[in-house]
Structure 1
């Protein structure tokens, strides 16, 4: 499935329900909406949530610049499913960061989700499994409710096979190369 940009009123390239749903959230519902297992969910992080992401960006920022990587919260499509995510942060190669449409999880270097009381279970289970199934090499779960971070790696068709953590807040979490 292509996630190429479709202009307003151009319905000729929306041949199936999955694409129609994803088109609707990208062009009608607004910028900060995702689909999790077929449920359309607005994404509206709190200041505390955004602060957690900002701290991570500050810590990994110098290394990202060295490697020509960019961090943002652009859309990630999971083709063949009713899932279209807006991660709290994804790290991608700089050339992919210029993409107008959605990227795929396997095009990322790292995906970060920060839990909120309203979505913690989704980040801990559904997104962890789906990011692994779709080949995101690393998934960092920042669990604000448990005050811990867990790094998931080694993605397979069933999810991730390796988990490092949970590490209590304040303990360094080492990311593998690059």
Structure 2
């Protein structure tokens, strides 16, 4: 898709619904964060159990993320040409791109989504399809309802072409290069 950071200078055009919607959610007052999934604005309000899983992953990958000159967080991901603006639970991105307002999925090294009862199918189906479409190289789905982890890799025209899982929590999950580590899933 793109090797450059997402443009922060996109102009607001009243007759462009995608731009207007994405502009509006970026200018919400207060600390409320939202994402747009297939044109529907969704507020983000993760539970502590949800945050625990994301935190366990960030802690395990932190040494490698640092060595790679990257950082991990939950910054904005734009999917240009669609009505989608995602806020993943964890994304690993090159540090030199960190000042951008938003990145596109192919600028990440890894995206992690942790399911919630209210929107698990969004992470299982919609985001998996869209992340592959937009070239995210690795998508880790931590399914708290099914108590499984699945790693999707090698994005193709019709979705990810490699699937490792689902594995029950407690099963070590290997993350391929550039991470080359075994993820401990026992505390999700």
Mark yes or no: TM-score above 0.5: yes
Indicate the residue corresponding to 2:148 in structure 1.
148
Matches within 5 A, 1:1-178: 3-4=7-8, 13-15=11-13, 16-28=16-28, 31-99=32-100, 101-178=101-178
Give the C-alpha shift of residue 98 in structure 1. 2.8
CA contact (8 A) 1:35 1:41 kept: yes
CA distance in 1, matches of 2:72, 2:63: 11
CA distance in 1, matches of 2:61, 2:136: 18
Partner SS, residue 28 of structure 1: coil
The farther-off stretch of 23-32 and 56-65 is: 23-32
CA distance in 2, matches of 1:69, 1:166: 27
TM-score normalised by L of structure 2: 0.87
Partner SS, residue 20 of structure 1: helix
CA distance in 2, matches of 1:17, 1:69: 33
Give the C-alpha shift of residue 161 in structure 1. 1.3
CA distance in 2, matches of 1:45, 1:157: 31
**Gaps in structure 1 of 5+ consecutive residues:** 7-12
**Gaps in structure 2 of 5+ consecutive residues:** 1-5, 179-188
The farther-off stretch of 113-122 and 151-160 is: 151-160
Indicate the residue corresponding to 2:186 in structure 1.
none
CA distance in 1, matches of 2:68, 2:48: 29
CA distance in 1, matches of 2:79, 2:41: 14
CA shift digits 1:59-99 (9 cap, x unpaired)? 11111111111100000000000000000010001111232
Task: List 4+ stretches of structure 1 deviating above 3 A.
Answer: none
CA shift digits 1:12-69 (9 cap, x unpaired)? x212110000000001266510000000000110110001000001111111111111
Output the aligned Cα RMSD. Answer: 1.6
CA distance in 2, matches of 1:155, 1:29: 36
Give the C-alpha shift of residue 113 in structure 1. 0.1
The farther-off stretch of 152-161 and 69-78 is: 152-161
TM-score normalised by L of structure 1: 0.91
